């Protein structure tokens, strides 16, 4: 279902994040700029960039690393173990200013666990922030456990309701639980495909008239945020953003079964 326009309230429902930025056009040549596994970090305030580029994820509030609960590897990100807490953190653009640039294709993929007492909340999985003077270039990927919906939203114009678009999954996400859940979305020149546990969630849908997300004029070092104002998420693991490729179904299944780190290693060879 496509909704246009949507107001500021719709943007507040978003929550979660981490990134893999690929410069290649084919999966076999995938080369991430950065991504996060939450396994080990000498700094308790941030997660290390697993690509080695040094674009670390900065935790916010009570968020941090857990060595006792992980989907893959040695740890995950604790977002909040109570229904009243939860803001994952921020991803910084430096030295990669291209994070502000127009986006024609992308993939967002992650694992999360929900708090037992907060299944009716909205979860912003990942959002690119707009500028301090307008909304152009904003996009966000969110999950509503109660409604069973994944949503992708974007803004193409500053200061205009006509530039606001959102699209929700045509099929429901399985009933929420406190087990690990894999969620993903691909964007390909306006075509949106949602995934749950490595499989497509309904058919691909198209945002009519949209072929790309424009450049954002964001002038802060913080370009992306994850788990924004969401008390519903307990833990997050293996979160990635591919900035120039919509991964196909076969790759989503590999990520689901083998984990993000193994998938990236396969594509490097």
CATH number of the domain residue 37 falls in: 2.60.120.200
Q: What is the DSSP letter of 175?
A: P
pLDDT in tens, 7-46: 433 333 223 333 323 333 334 445 555 677 777 776 777 7
What confidence tens digit (pLDDT) does each residue in 221-258 have? 667 777 765 667 778 888 888 888 899 999 999 999 99
Write out pLDDT tens, residues 161-210: 677 889 999 999 987 677 899 999 999 999 999 999 999 999 999 998 89
65-88, pLDDT tens digit by residue?
Answer: 776 688 888 878 777 655 444 456
Structure-token match 């929420």, residue found: 176
Nearest Cα to Cα of residue 244 among 55, 104, 93: 104
Q: Can you tell me the mean pLDDT for 116-120? A: 67
What range does the domain containing 176 cover?
Answer: 2-23+30-268
Whether 50 shows a pLDDT value over 90: the answer reads no
CA distances from 154 to 2, 24, 43, 137 (A): 12, 24, 33, 7
pLDDT beyond 70 at 109: yes
Cβ–Cβ contacts within 10 Å for residue 78, how many? 23
Number of structural domains found in the chain: 1
Model-wide pTM > 0.85: no
- Rounded CA gap, 17 and 141, in Å? 9
Judged against a pLDDT cut of 80, whether residue 96 lies above it is answered with no
Instruction: Give the DSSP letter of residue 135.
Output: -
Please determine, for residue 6, whether its predicted confidence score (pLDDT) is greater than 80: no
How much of the chain exceeds pLDDT 90, in percent? 24
Top pLDDT among 191 and 115 is at: 191
Q: What are phi and psi of 198, to 5 degrees?
A: 80, 0
Between helix 260-268 and helix 249-258 the angle, nearest 10°, is 120
């Amino acid at each position: 279902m496509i909704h246009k326009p949507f107001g500021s309230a719709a943007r507040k429902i978003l929550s979660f994040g981490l990134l893999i930025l690929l410069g290649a056009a084919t999966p076999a040549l995938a080369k991430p700029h950065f991504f996060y596994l939450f396994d080990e970090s000498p700094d308790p305030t941030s997660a290390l960039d697993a690509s080695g580029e040094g674009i670390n994820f900065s935790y916010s509030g009570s968020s941090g690393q857990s060595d006792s609960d992980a989907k893959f590897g040695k740890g995950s990100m604790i977002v909040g173990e109570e229904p009243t807490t939860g803001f994952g953190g921020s991803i910084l653009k430096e030295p990669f200013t291209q994070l502000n640039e127009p986006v024609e294709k992308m993939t967002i993929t992650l694992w999360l666990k929900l708090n037992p007492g907060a299944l009716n909340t909205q979860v912003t999985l990942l959002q690119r922030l707009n500028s301090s003077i307008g909304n152009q270039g904003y996009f966000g990927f969110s999950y509503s456990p109660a409604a069973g919906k994944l949503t992708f939203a974007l803004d193409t114009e500053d200061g205009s309701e006509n530039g606001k678009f959102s699209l929700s999954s045509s099929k429901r996400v399985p009933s929420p639980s406190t087990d690990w859940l894999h969620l993903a979305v691909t964007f390909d020149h306006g075509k949106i495909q949602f995934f749950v546990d490595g499989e497509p969630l309904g058919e691909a849908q198209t945002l009519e008239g949209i072929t790309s997300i424009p450049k954002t004029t964001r002038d802060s070092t913080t370009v992306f945020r994850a788990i924004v104002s969401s008390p519903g998420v307990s833990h997050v693991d293996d979160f990635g953003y591919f900035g120039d490729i919509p991964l196909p179904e076969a790759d989503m299944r590999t990520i689901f079964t083998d984990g993000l780190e193994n998938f990236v290693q396969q594509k490097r060879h």
